[in-house]
Amino acid sequence: MHTLSRSYRGLGLLVRLNWDRALTGFVILGALTAGAWLATL
């Protein structure tokens, strides 16, 4: 049971780290899109 709990905690950390990377990518993509849209005005 202890091993299962430890594995679950490690998996949760991995998901949180990848979520942070994905969110950063979306923010950068949104900023580039907003910049391109403002340049067309």
User: What pLDDT does 13 receive?
Assistant: 74
pLDDT of residue 38: 95
DSSP of 1-41, one letter per residue? -HHHHHHHHHHHHHHHHHHHHHHHHHHHHHHHHHHHHHHT-
Residues of the chain with confidence (pLDDT) below 70 = 1-8
What pLDDT score was predicted for residue 7? 62
Q: What is d(CA 28, CA 39) in angstroms, rounded to the nearest whole number?
A: 17
